[in-house]
Amino acid sequence: MFRLRRCSVLVGVIALAGSSCGGDGSATPAEPVVGGDLVLVMQPGEGSATNTGRYFVELFDWEGNWGVKEGTANHVGWIEARYGPRHVVTFTAARDNPRGGEPEFCFIVFPGGGGCGLDPTEAAIYGWGEDSAELFAGSTGAEAVITTEAGRTVSILTVEGYAVAEWPGDWGGPESVSYYAADGELLTTLEFQPDLGE
């Protein structure tokens, strides 16, 4: 399982989409199929038609090892968090793939972390902390439901399968996440790996 490097401290509870920050501000949240103790709604991003995707990617390029292939940055979506919006950006790496083969697919949550070499179609846990997670429900995943150590559930309505969540710290860390299609079909359940640590 790929573990994201943390670039900032992630805390807090996400407010249900209220502010305008990306996209055209016209959020159209759907109703959750499964739901949870806390329901969060990802908002659509600006795609690749604007410079937004490249802007967020370039913030990470200072390390000199990500590099963005021209025209591939995609501002997928965002969600309002306690300390402001968190943005999901995907892109293809401009550098050679260190494992050989096709250029790597890369994923960034800003602020947060990211990584390259991820399968852009397979459900995954991209990263997590004591009260947060960055997820991909797969190409058909519409809802992600996290179960925490305290037995509380956090439901996130995804954008293109992507989900970012934060919840109250006293709910404990994440234990598992179940991904569901829009019709409520369970797609898969993944366990968080505590041995990977923070």
Q: Please, are residues 143 and 160 in contact by the beta-carbon 8 Å criterion?
A: no
Query: How many whole angstroms separate alpha carbon 78 and alpha carbon 127?
Result: 16
How far is it, in rounded angstroms, from Cα 7 to Cα 139? 27
Instruction: Confirm if 109 and 177 have CB atoms less than 8 A apart.
Output: no
pTM equals 0.78
pLDDT tens for the chain, 198 residues: list them. 233 323 222 222 233 233 333 333 333 346 888 999 999 999 999 887 677 777 776 666 555 555 788 788 889 999 998 889 999 998 888 888 888 888 889 888 888 778 888 888 899 999 999 999 999 999 899 999 999 999 999 999 999 999 999 999 999 999 999 999 999 999 999 999 876 544
